[in-house]
Chain A
Amino acid sequence: MLDWILEIFDFMPVEASSWASRVDYINNVITVISVFCTVAITFVMILFAWKYRRKSENQKTAYITHNATLETIWTIIPTIICFVLFYFGYTVYHEMRNPPVGANEVFVKGQTWYWDFQYANGKKSTGELVVPVGEPVKLIMTSADVLHSFFIPAMRVKEDMYNGNYSYLWFTPTSSGTFDIFCTEYCGTQHSGMTAKLKVVSKEAYNDWLNEKKDPSAEPVLPEVTGKAIYTAKCAACHSLDGSKVVGPSFKGIYSGAKHVLQDGTEVVVDDNYIRNSIANPLSQIVAGYPPVMPAFQLSEDELIGVISYMKTLK
């Protein structure tokens, strides 16, 4: 009975991620409370208006100006409802913002007006994101130009991306199928054409797809191989791999979740965005105890993905 009531106004799309049913539950609770309050208060308003409609010019009215008890009650009850709803919204969203360690990582690049995806083995796809069912996926997203926003209604996730920065979102698909991906940050002429498809497939199909080669000569280069070459050419002089302190901090185990303490005393978690910013704009985040001498490097998106992927392999 309760479920039936909750689902009267449920027009949400198919629930295809681990938290979709919880998001929908919160949504349905809010909707039912909202509809109930709106209908009840409107009903009371119309009832009062009709019951006390003017029948004669001299009709007596009640001289009521306020009622402290009543006013206190109807201030406190909405406050409590709001706190509860905030809390439920917060808990699920907190989960949405904290991807588990070991999630499959896919780099996403939005540009007017299509989506590029790059997977761990260097495979690339455009307009089609393929992920295995039942495993967490983390999307590391940037934009080649203006703002875009990555929205998968079936997964109940959305996040903006912008040029020169990584944003992220994650989800665990729970059922196979093909789902819509929309751009939801207005980006010009073909904004409404900037759609893609999410294909959730079995683990085997995913592996087959990941390793299939349309053109044998175009073997995808592992991103960490690209990254290692860049490291050797540009980073190795100052950043060691064995933990020794040269000019800059060592890369040994840099992605282990450790924190860097900056000159001004702030602690930052070493993540994709920190690395990205430290390459493009090194002087903005100098680690305490190191000289501010690193020059800025202009790497392409693919090179950045390479360096980050390589650093993640350094245990």
Chain B
Amino acid sequence: MSNDTNHHTDKHSGDVNYLNFEKGFMSWWMSIDHKRIGLMYLVSMIFFFAIGGLLALVVRTELMKRGQTIIDNDTYNMAFTLHGVIMIFLFIVPGVPATLGNFLLPLMIGAKDVAFPRLNRLSYWVYVFGSFFAFLAIYFKLDTGWTFYSPYSLRNAPAVMSATMAAFVLGFASILTGVNFLVTIHKMRAPGLTWDRLPLFVWATYATALLQVIATPIIGITLLLLFLENAFGIGVFRPDVGGDPVLFQHLFWFYSHPVVYIMILPAMGIVSEIIPVFSRKPIFGYKAIVWASVGIAAISFLVWGHHMFVSGMSDFVRYLFSFLTFFVAVPTAVKVFNWVATIYKGSVEFTSPMLYAMAFVFLFMIAGTTGIHLATLATDAHYHDTYFVVAHFHYTIQGGAVIGLYAGLHFWFPKIFGRMYNEKFAKIAFCLLFIGFNGTFLPQFVLGMMGMPRRYADYSTFSNVDTFEYLHFISTCFSYINALGYSLVLVNLGYGAVKGVKATANPYNSLGLEWQTPSPPPHDNFETIPVVTDWSYGYGEEYSDHDHNGNKKVVAKPA
């Protein structure tokens, strides 16, 4: 454990940075440096993203033509289940907070590390440990869908116990990250970095951390109840021993709905950082965006029932959840307006992070507006558990959270690796990804309208099978383009990380604190802790007499 104490600062001269500060596997595995932990999370997650993506291609290929084509029903059911489990629990739930959050949070608030560096390391270890349970579930042939609905899932108790155990253990990784970030943001901000100067990515991370800490324990309770039921036959979820299967759905969604916002809020934070930098303008409506983030986090606890409109809840509860769900739309819409307004009268540079950010705004609007179809009771009765839902949440999670993550990866790439990726290549990959993604999921909205149920291995018995097959065929073809786009991005970024041209400390002339230190940052982030005198969005302020608070300007630049 000798590496724990390597917090001395005398190695900062020359080319020494956090990447080459120490060498060897153990120097990474045992590291308590938030930047290294973020990077390790990133590499692990991209590994799982690739596996999950390949499984998605298996699913799409099976559906390309009617009838059984490449795999039988049981294999198909396992493929879509694993796709969901891996993508959700191993990739997008840790997602942005564990990777970019870990890397950037201390840099953005002018701290040397997070509040509890060892807890941070534990979080990564727990994550790796939890992933073994996910593979154990695969070994036990988990085929329940990522939602593990009882009583079907209880037929294969070892598989569902391992899968919930994986979610439970991985949940601890989330909780540890969340607690760490909350304390870090509260206690470790640089002098002068008041709450109303806090970068919006940090605000988004803060709202996310609250959700991680409050929502995640529910999956633990659910696991405990599952265990009691399987070990002692206490009726909790199984109707034949007096349990209530709908209770499982309540518990599952009480956790899993806030999780959707754990995925999307940090991505919104990333977009709020990127658009001002490449528009050379202050973020529009800073306070509104902060309140929208916190508001979304709060409302997210009150809407889980919209996953259960046809599950047998009482009618009154259905009406109530529909009503509450509509409230999510308002803060989300406010954010979109703010991003667009930020571009107005700016000086827009079309870099690849900016393209990703603008794509996020577009794709997220599709995700949000199709959410209205699902929040409306009369139409949800038709859409529930169809491809319309599949397309909707892929627009939210892939079009939103993943595109947001990729926007952030491109944006902070020079900071993380001290090198640049190939910009032209990045734009080509972006185009493929964008076209492939929309081509895959727009036809799925149409399939859903026509009544195509999700989780179907085959559709050959349908009345108008020709139309269904035609749309599935288009969707599958574009999914290959989507996969090609993602592969190109990874090749480009991978090559850039090793061989790219050296990047300067602040290639975009950004005002963010994280750009005021060398790229890649030294082990301790900053030579001296910076003193903050203003927010980090004062682009173009040099032409204005007043700062954003309406006061006569004193000092413009952060230290």
Task: Say which one of A158-166, A211-219, A222-230 lies at the interface with B.
Answer: A158-166
- Interface size in chain A (residues, C-beta < 8 A): 89
Pick from B77, B361, B380: contact of A188, CB below 8 A.
Answer: B77
Docked Cα-Cα span, A281 to B379, in Å, equals 35
Q: How far is the CB of B433 from chain A (nearest CB, A)?
A: 17
Docked Cα-Cα span, A92 to B288, in Å, equals 35
Within 85-123 of A, Cβ neighbours of B (below 8 Å) are at 85-86, 88-94, 96-97
Asked whether, in the complex, the Cβ of A42 is within 8 Å of the Cβ of B330, the reply is no
Docked Cα-Cα span, A59 to B362, in Å, equals 26
Report B310-324 CB contacts with A as 1/0, cut-off 8 Å.
Answer: 111001001100110
User: B112 near A: Cβ within 8 Å?
Assistant: no
Pick from B152, B346, B372: contact of A30, CB below 8 A.
Answer: B372
Q: How far is the CB of B61 from chain A (nearest CB, A)?
A: 16
User: A207 near B: Cβ within 8 Å?
Assistant: no
Asked whether, in the complex, the Cβ of A42 is within 8 Å of the Cβ of B362, the reply is yes
Task: Say which one of A44-52, A233-241, A250-258, A302-310 lies at the interface with B.
Answer: A44-52
User: A78 near B: Cβ within 8 Å?
Assistant: yes
**Inter-chain contact total with CB atoms closer than 8 Å:** 290
Pick from B143, B245, B348, B462: contact of A52, CB below 8 A.
Answer: B348
User: A185 near B: Cβ within 8 Å?
Assistant: yes
Asked whether, in the complex, the Cβ of B455 is within 8 Å of the Cβ of A186, the reply is yes
- Interface size in chain B (residues, C-beta < 8 A): 94
Asked whether, in the complex, the Cβ of B544 is within 8 Å of the Cβ of A63, the reply is yes
User: B192 near A: Cβ within 8 Å?
Assistant: no
Q: How far is the CB of A228 from chain B (nearest CB, A)?
A: 28
Pick from A35, A90, A153: contact of B322, CB below 8 A.
Answer: A90
User: B358 near A: Cβ within 8 Å?
Assistant: yes
Pick from A74, A85, A96, A151: contact of B451, CB below 8 A.
Answer: A151
A65/B284 contact (C-beta < 8 A), A13-B450, A52-B345, A54-B348 known: yes
Docked Cα-Cα span, A188 to B141, in Å, equals 12
Docked Cα-Cα span, A97 to B315, in Å, equals 7
A184/B376 contact (C-beta < 8 A), A63-B543, A158-B384 known: no
Asked whether, in the complex, the Cβ of A49 is within 8 Å of the Cβ of B310, the reply is no
Docked Cα-Cα span, A188 to B154, in Å, equals 12
Task: Say which one of B87-95, B164-172, B336-344 lies at the interface with A.
Answer: B336-344
A66/B288 contact (C-beta < 8 A), A147-B245, A188-B152 known: yes
A187/B152 contact (C-beta < 8 A), A59-B347, A70-B341, A147-B245 known: yes
User: B369 near A: Cβ within 8 Å?
Assistant: yes
Give the chain A neighbours of B385 by CB distance below 8 A.
149, 151, 158, 184-185
Asked whether, in the complex, the Cβ of A146 is within 8 Å of the Cβ of B151, the reply is yes
A74/B152 contact (C-beta < 8 A), A13-B451, A45-B358, A59-B347 known: no
Asked whether, in the complex, the Cβ of B334 is within 8 Å of the Cβ of A45, the reply is no
Query: Which of A62, A63, A183 gathers the greatest number of chain B CB atoms within 10 Å?
Result: A63
Pick from A33, A53, A147, A184: contact of B151, CB below 8 A.
Answer: A147
User: A156 near B: Cβ within 8 Å?
Assistant: yes
Asked whether, in the complex, the Cβ of B152 is within 8 Å of the Cβ of A37, the reply is no
Pick from B322, B345, B366: contact of A64, CB below 8 A.
Answer: B345
User: B326 near A: Cβ within 8 Å?
Assistant: yes
Q: How far is the CB of A155 from chain B (nearest CB, A)?
A: 9
Docked Cα-Cα span, A183 to B446, in Å, equals 19
Report B504-544 CB contacts with A as 1/0, cut-off 8 Å.
Answer: 00000000000000000000000000000000010111011
User: B233 near A: Cβ within 8 Å?
Assistant: no
Asked whether, in the complex, the Cβ of B151 is within 8 Å of the Cβ of A163, the reply is yes
Asked whether, in the complex, the Cβ of B343 is within 8 Å of the Cβ of A52, the reply is yes
Asked whether, in the complex, the Cβ of B284 is within 8 Å of the Cβ of A66, the reply is yes
Task: Say which one of A128-136, A190-198, A259-267, A286-294 lies at the interface with B.
Answer: A190-198
Asked whether, in the complex, the Cβ of B282 is within 8 Å of the Cβ of A48, the reply is no
Give the chain B neighbours of A12 by CB distance below 8 A.
382, 449-450
A184/B245 contact (C-beta < 8 A), A61-B539, A93-B377, A97-B315 known: no
User: B279 near A: Cβ within 8 Å?
Assistant: yes
User: A210 near B: Cβ within 8 Å?
Assistant: no
User: A232 near B: Cβ within 8 Å?
Assistant: no
Residue of A nearest to B369 (CB): A34
Asked whether, in the complex, the Cβ of B344 is within 8 Å of the Cβ of A62, the reply is yes
User: A22 near B: Cβ within 8 Å?
Assistant: yes
Docked Cα-Cα span, A165 to B240, in Å, equals 11
User: A179 near B: Cβ within 8 Å?
Assistant: yes
Q: How far is the CB of A99 from chain B (nearest CB, A)?
A: 12
Asked whether, in the complex, the Cβ of B333 is within 8 Å of the Cβ of A90, the reply is no
Report B280-299 CB contacts with A as 1/0, cut-off 8 Å.
Answer: 11111111100000000000
Pick from A61, A71, A167: contact of B288, CB below 8 A.
Answer: A71
Asked whether, in the complex, the Cβ of A26 is within 8 Å of the Cβ of B379, the reply is yes
Q: How far is the CB of B309 from chain A (nearest CB, A)?
A: 8
Residue of A nearest to B546 (CB): A63
Pick from B315, B326, B349, B453: contact of A82, CB below 8 A.
Answer: B326
Docked Cα-Cα span, A30 to B376, in Å, equals 9
Asked whether, in the complex, the Cβ of A60 is within 8 Å of the Cβ of B285, the reply is no
User: A247 near B: Cβ within 8 Å?
Assistant: no
Asked whether, in the complex, the Cβ of B461 is within 8 Å of the Cβ of A146, the reply is no
Asked whether, in the complex, the Cβ of A75 is within 8 Å of the Cβ of B334, the reply is yes
Give the chain B neighbours of A159 by CB distance below 8 A.
310, 312
Give the chain B neighbours of A59 by CB distance below 8 A.
280, 347
User: A38 near B: Cβ within 8 Å?
Assistant: yes
Give the chain A neighbours of B280 by CB distance below 8 A.
54, 59, 61
Docked Cα-Cα span, A83 to B370, in Å, equals 16
Give the chain A neighbours of B455 by CB distance below 8 A.
186, 191-192
Q: How far is the CB of B449 from chain A (nearest CB, A)?
A: 4
User: A79 near B: Cβ within 8 Å?
Assistant: yes
Q: Would you mind naming 14 contact pairs between A and B with Cβ atoms under 8 Å apart?
A: A19-B378, A37-B369, A45-B358, A52-B344, A63-B282, A65-B286, A66-B286, A75-B334, A78-B333, A146-B151, A158-B382, A163-B151, A180-B463, A189-B73
Q: Please give 20 more A-B residue pairs, beta carbons under 8 A apart, in addition to A54-B347, A65-B548, A66-B285.
A: A23-B381, A49-B343, A66-B288, A85-B326, A85-B375, A88-B378, A89-B377, A90-B322, A90-B377, A96-B381, A149-B384, A159-B310, A160-B310, A162-B151, A163-B245, A180-B462, A186-B144, A188-B77, A189-B73, A191-B73
Q: A-B pairs with the 5 shortest C-beta distances?
A: A153-B451, A34-B369, A89-B376, A93-B377, A92-B378
